[in-house]
């Protein structure tokens, strides 16, 4: 396809005639605001942006898919852009859902608009004594997070958020509008839960909430120079926890000083968690202990994720296991420039903003009848490393820093990763087992033969 400006202008004019909903071309006010992703590293420049009418979302998405197919364009969708992988260029129309944040909670389920964030859900859910399977940041979109797997603070007890999806309104590549759930179009329902925008564009999602009105949660924090001991203690401690406890270890370097932090959330009692945390609280040098009873609506504060859009470069791997001695060695990748780490880090500053080890296992590792394509995750830990371009380092230095971290634990990797934690496009081959991937590919070929749907991670 040619993409000179004349051609583009005639495309937009004919698209405007056949697409219902507001359409923004590159020279119109609002285009720049809506093309932006939360991850600003993704410089998206679509041929046009469609903002569906809140009263007619599915019809507007449907007309967009039909018109795009006719014009030989692709269609991508964005809720918040937390998961943008930079694939959206002038060969695609971007449907922006960010204004569609309605949430309705009834009978233990949340029905959410395609642009709803967890922050729109967790408060109203808590008001009914319920919790959502939200992740570390309440700013993340419910739809992208849930369809991509969704590993949250309650994950070891209740599993992946994708398996808490109870139904969805979906517009398929041919423009068809469907309600899918366990009883309606079960194959499409299965594929969406892991395969996301490869199979359709969700205009409304129904997610199960869980009956949890209080959690025990917070963070234990040490200075960066304690990272080696804290990592080794964590690797020994985290391996034998009850499913009600979901912990993570984060090394980061906020402006207040480089730290190593163990964040934790438990659905059990405060006394039980105190007993479980005792060995960690004995480690010297602790700076902070914020673990306390709280509403699940406040869990978004525990992990200390950035609140403003950032230009992040990151990668992730699943680790089968992590011996304490090996975990200790990860300290040399700790973000920051603390001189006390000089013998380990040779005195140089790290290009990374964050290195994280999320404990998996529990319900995350258990497959289940009726689960989606992403049935379960194998491995004891998710290893995640991230830098912020032009803040913690250049893209090249961050990529080298991430490669160093991954290389140091390469012998413990499973063959898989989790696409929610990968901000560059990779095919689902790395997320799914070969049999599941073939089944997804076959369905994709059948449902979207011309490949109009452009997902963050293509199948």
Instruction: List residues bridging with 313 in a β-sheet.
Output: 387
How near is the Cβ of 373 to ligand FAD at its closest, in Å? Answer: 13
Pairwise CA distance, residues 41 & 86, whole Å: 7
Pairwise CA distance, residues 421 & 236, whole Å: 25
If the CB atoms of residues 345 and 352 are measured against ligand FAD, the closer one turns out to be 352
| Residue of 135, 175, 336, 387 that binds ligand FAD (CB under 6 A) | 135
Residue 440 interacts with ligand FAD (CB under 6 A): yes or no: no
Residue 258 interacts with ligand FAD (CB under 6 A): yes or no: no
Candidates 136-144, 316-324, 331-339, 368-376; binding stretch for ligand FAD (CB under 6 A): 136-144
If the CB atoms of residues 137 and 331 are measured against ligand FAD, the closer one turns out to be 137
Residue 267 interacts with ligand FAD (CB under 6 A): yes or no: no
| Residue of 152, 195, 335, 362 that binds ligand FAD (CB under 6 A) | 152
Helices within 81-163 (DSSP H only): 118-126, 142-147, 155-158
Residues 6 or more apart in contact with residue 396 via CB below 8 angstroms? none
Candidates 52-60, 122-130, 139-147, 333-341; binding stretch for ligand FAD (CB under 6 A): 139-147
Candidates 135-143, 266-274, 336-344, 427-435; binding stretch for ligand FAD (CB under 6 A): 135-143
- Asked if residue 169 lies in contact with residue 189, where contact means CB atoms within 8 angstroms, the answer is no
How near is the Cβ of 299 to ligand FAD at its closest, in Å? Answer: 10
SS (H, E, C) 388-449: EECCCECHHHHHHHHHHHHHHCHHHECCCCCHHHCCCCCCHHHCCCHHHHHHHHHHHHHHCC
Candidates 1-9, 150-158, 237-245, 262-270; binding stretch for ligand FAD (CB under 6 A): 150-158
Q: Site size for ligand FAD, by CB under 6 A? A: 32
CA distances to 251, 346, 412 from 332, in Å:
11, 9, 18
Q: How many residues make up the chain in this entry?
A: 459
Residue 172 interacts with ligand FAD (CB under 6 A): yes or no: no
Helix (H) or strand (E) holding 110: strand 109-113
How near is the Cβ of 119 to ligand FAD at its closest, in Å? Answer: 11
Pairwise CA distance, residues 190 & 432, whole Å: 13
Instruction: Report which of 382, 400, 398 is spatially closest to residue 390, judged by C-alpha positions.
Output: 398
Residue 144 interacts with ligand FAD (CB under 6 A): yes or no: yes
Q: At 300, list the tokens.
A: 């978004």
Residue 84 interacts with ligand FAD (CB under 6 A): yes or no: yes
Candidates 131-139, 226-234, 290-298, 427-435; binding stretch for ligand FAD (CB under 6 A): 131-139
How near is the Cβ of 184 to ligand FAD at its closest, in Å? Answer: 17
Residue 386 interacts with ligand FAD (CB under 6 A): yes or no: no
Residues 6 or more apart in contact with residue 180 via CB below 8 angstroms? 167, 168, 169, 170, 186, 188, 189, 192
| Residue of 78, 163, 252, 350 that binds ligand FAD (CB under 6 A) | 78
How near is the Cβ of 79 to ligand FAD at its closest, in Å? Answer: 3
Instruction: List residues bridging with 248 in a β-sheet.
Output: 263, 358
Residue 136 interacts with ligand FAD (CB under 6 A): yes or no: yes
Residue 97 interacts with ligand FAD (CB under 6 A): yes or no: yes
Where do we find the tokens 């009873």? 293
Residue 34 interacts with ligand FAD (CB under 6 A): yes or no: no
Instruction: Report which of 346, 357, 173 is spatially closest to residue 252, judged by C-alpha positions.
Output: 357
Residue 156 interacts with ligand FAD (CB under 6 A): yes or no: no
Pairwise CA distance, residues 253 & 378, whole Å: 30
| Residue of 48, 50, 75, 140 that binds ligand FAD (CB under 6 A) | 140
Q: Which of residues 304-363 bind ligand FAD (CB under 6 A)?
A: 305
Pairwise CA distance, residues 146 & 194, whole Å: 8
Where do we find the tokens 């990860």? 330
| Residue of 149, 300, 335, 387 that binds ligand FAD (CB under 6 A) | 149
Binding site for ligand FAD (CB under 6 A): 77-84, 97, 114, 135-137, 140-141, 143-145, 147-152, 196-197, 201-202, 305, 420, 455-456
């Amino acid at each position: 396809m040619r993409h000179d400006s004349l051609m583009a202008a005639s495309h937009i004019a004919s698209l405007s005639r056949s697409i219902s909903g507001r359409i923004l071309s590159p020279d119109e006010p609002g285009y720049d605001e809506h093309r932006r992703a939360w991850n600003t590293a993704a410089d998206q420049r679509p041929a046009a942006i469609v903002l569906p009418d809140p009263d007619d979302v599915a019809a507007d998405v449907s007309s967009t898919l039909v018109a795009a197919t006719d014009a030989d364009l692709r269609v991508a969708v964005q809720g918040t852009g937390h998961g943008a992988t930079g694939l959206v260029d002038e060969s695609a129309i971007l449907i922006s859902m960010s204004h569609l944040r309605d949430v309705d909670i009834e009978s233990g389920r949340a029905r959410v608009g395609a642009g709803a964030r967890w922050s729109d859900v967790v408060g109203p859910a808590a008001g009914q004594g319920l919790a959502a399977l939200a992740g570390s940041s309440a700013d993340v979109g419910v739809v992208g997070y849930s369809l991509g797997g969704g590993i949250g603070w309650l994950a070891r007890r209740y599993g992946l958020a994708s398996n808490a999806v109870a139904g969805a309104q979906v517009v398929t590549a041919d423009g068809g509008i469907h309600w899918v759930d366990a009883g309606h179009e079960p194959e499409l329902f299965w594929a969406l839960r892991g395969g996301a925008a490869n199979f359709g564009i969700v205009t409304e999602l129904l997610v199960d909430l869980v009956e949890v009105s209080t959690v025990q949660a917070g963070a234990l924090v040490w200075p960066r120079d304690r990272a080696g001991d804290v990592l080794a203690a964590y690797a020994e401690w985290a391996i034998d926890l009850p499913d009600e406890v979901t912990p993570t270890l984060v090394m980061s370097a906020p402006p207040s000083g480089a730290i190593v932090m163990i964040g934790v959330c438990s659905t059990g009692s405060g006394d039980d968690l105190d007993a479980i945390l005792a060995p960690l609280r004995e480690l010297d040098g602790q700076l902070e202990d914020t673990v306390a009873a709280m509403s699940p609506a406040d869990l978004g504060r525990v992990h200390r994720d950035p609140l403003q859009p950032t230009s992040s470069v990151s990668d992730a791997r699943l680790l089968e296991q992590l011996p304490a001695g090996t975990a200790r060695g990860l300290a040399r990748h700790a973000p920051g420039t603390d001189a006390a780490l000089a013998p380990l880090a040779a005195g140089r500053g790290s290009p990374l903003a964050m290195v994280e080890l999320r404990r998996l296992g529990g319900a995350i590792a258990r497959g289940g009848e009726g689960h989606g394509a992403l049935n379960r995750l194998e491995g004891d830990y998710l290893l995640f490393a991230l830098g912020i371009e032009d803040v913690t380092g250049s893209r090249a230095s961050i990529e080298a820093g991430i490669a160093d971290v991954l290389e140091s634990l390469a012998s413990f990797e499973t063959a898989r990763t989790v696409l929610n934690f990968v901000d560059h496009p990779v095919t689902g081959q790395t997320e799914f087992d070969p049999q599941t991937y073939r089944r997804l590919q076959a369905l994709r070929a059948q449902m979207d033969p011309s490949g109009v749907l452009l997902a963050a991670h293509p199948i």
